[in-house]
């Protein structure tokens, strides 16, 4: 059907006797052009707009007025935009017939709830209709419609699921009444939309960033700078007093470790000064090996008996197969003494016969 076959003709035919004075959408002229064109291009049937209404309504009241039959589809818009679409059983039946048998029947559609399969079949037609209307409104210089950028995103099982997933509040409601094939079927499409408010979205984003900065990025974190881990006797530790000095190798000053309180290595550093205070300069990032700092052994005093000179050389071990001789410190050999004889054990008595 060409654009010249306006929806006005069909509107007069299928809308005769329906009365006047109905609410009119600011985009009624847009829908009047788009509905017949989209029907011809997308589903290949004649269709015309009967009426288009627009209003704002509360979600709770809107859901209460919806019938239990028809198809409920989820709508997703730019950013946090959300909403739903309701196709009554007349519109659902017309779209299904047009896309399965190629024409719209005069037979009234049976009252039922739309399925997932129904949603998958009619979704392209609904998306094309909303997209074409948004483009037409822009070309005409009309105000940006609330459904601009919206598309179908699955199906709602019932009204309760909508109430659970969309917060209560005002919705932009667009209601279209459409006739197919000269009145063979008449159906209604309801679009309930809540576009994302850009200033509020920016304010919410700024608030989130501030909260993250205050609670995460500016949160305190305790780290430990480890210079050395000496190993000392417990008695030495008990004798420590205020003012005692601990000697640390100068090499340790350039091999400090920045660790978590649990001992995990974060970086390596060098001890120094900054602004007159002790400071550490990071020299290697967290990609450094996480091996534990080696434990340094303190220099302990040698025993008094060992201070007189070197220890004597140990004698060589005997060669294999030379018997039981062992070399003594004097260089000679000595035999192991024979073990004394052990007395024989007495014989054990016989066990008694079994009964």
Topology, domain 224-284? Surface presentation of antigens (SPOA) (2.30.330)
pLDDT score recorded for residue 289: 47
Q: What is the DSSP string of 263-330?
A: --EEEEEEEEEETTEEEEEEEE-TTS--PPPPPBPP-PPPPGGGSSSPPPPPPPPPPTTSTT-EE-TT
Share of the chain above pLDDT 90, in %: 45
Considering the chain, what is the average pLDDT of its residues? 78
Spatial contact of 64 and 144, defined as CB atoms under 8 Å apart: no
pLDDT score recorded for residue 263: 81
Q: How far apart, in whole angstroms, are the C-alpha atoms of residue 42 and residue 178?
A: 15
pLDDT score recorded for residue 22: 43
Work out the average pLDDT over 163-191: 93
pLDDT score recorded for residue 229: 79
Identify the CA nearest to 30 among candidates 179, 148, 175, 134. Answer: 134
Phi, psi of 231 (to 5 degrees): -110, 115
The H or E element that residue 31 is part of is helix 28-38
pLDDT score recorded for residue 335: 58
Q: Domain residues of the chain, as ranges?
A: 7-197, 224-284
301 has pLDDT over 50: no
Class of domain 7-197: alpha beta
pLDDT score recorded for residue 295: 52
Distances (CA, A) of 279 to 122, 258, 314, 353: 69, 12, 53, 92
pLDDT tens figures, 29-72:
999 999 999 999 999 999 999 999 999 999 999 999 999 999 99
pTM attached to this predicted model: 0.53
pLDDT tens figures, 252-299:
777 888 888 888 888 888 887 777 787 878 876 554 444 545 555 554
pLDDT score recorded for residue 130: 96
The reply to whether domains 7-197 and 224-284 share a CATH topology is no
């Amino acid at each position: 059907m060409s654009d010249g076959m306006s929806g006005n003709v069909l509107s007069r035919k299928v809308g005769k006797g329906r009365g006047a004075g109905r609410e009119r959408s600011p985009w009624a002229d847009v829908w009047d052009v788009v509905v017949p064109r989209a029907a011809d291009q997308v589903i290949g049937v004649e269709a015309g707009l009967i009426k288009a209404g627009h209003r704002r309504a509360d979600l709770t009241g809107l859901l209460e007025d919806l019938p239990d039959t028809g198809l409920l589809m989820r709508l997703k818009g730019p950013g946090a935009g959300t909403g739903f679409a309701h196709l009554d059983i007349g519109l659902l039946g017309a779209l299904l017939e047009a896309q399965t048998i190629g024409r719209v029947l005069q037979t009234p559609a049976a009252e039922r709830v739309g399925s997932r399969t129904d949603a998958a079949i009619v979704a392209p037609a609904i998306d094309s209709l909303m997209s074409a209307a948004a483009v037409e409104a822009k070309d005409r210089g009309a105000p940006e419609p609330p459904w601009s950028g919206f598309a179908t995103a699955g199906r709602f099982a019932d009204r309760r699921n909508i109430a659970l997933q969309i917060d209560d509040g005002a919705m932009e409601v667009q209601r279209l009444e459409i006739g197919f094939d000269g009145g063979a079927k008449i159906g209604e499409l309801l679009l309930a939309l809540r576009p994302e408010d850009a200033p509020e979205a920016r304010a919410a984003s700024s608030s989130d960033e501030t909260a993250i900065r205050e609670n995460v990025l500016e949160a305190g974190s305790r780290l430990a700078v480890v210079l050395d881990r000496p190993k000392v006797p417990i008695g030495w530790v008990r004798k420590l007093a205020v003012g005692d000095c601990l000697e640390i190798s100068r090499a340790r000053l350039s091999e400090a470790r920045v660790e978590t309180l649990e001992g995990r290595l974060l970086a390596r550093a060098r001890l120094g000064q900054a602004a007159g205070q002790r400071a550490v300069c990071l020299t290697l990032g967290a990609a450094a090996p996480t091996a534990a700092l080696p434990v340094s052994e303190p220099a302990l005093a040698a025993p008094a008996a060992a201070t007189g000179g070197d220890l004597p050389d140990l004698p060589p071990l005997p060669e294999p197969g030379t018997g039981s001789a062992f070399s003594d410190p004097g260089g000679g050999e000595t035999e192991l003494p024979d073990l004394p004889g052990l007395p024989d054990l007495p014989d054990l008595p016989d066990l008694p016969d079994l009964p």
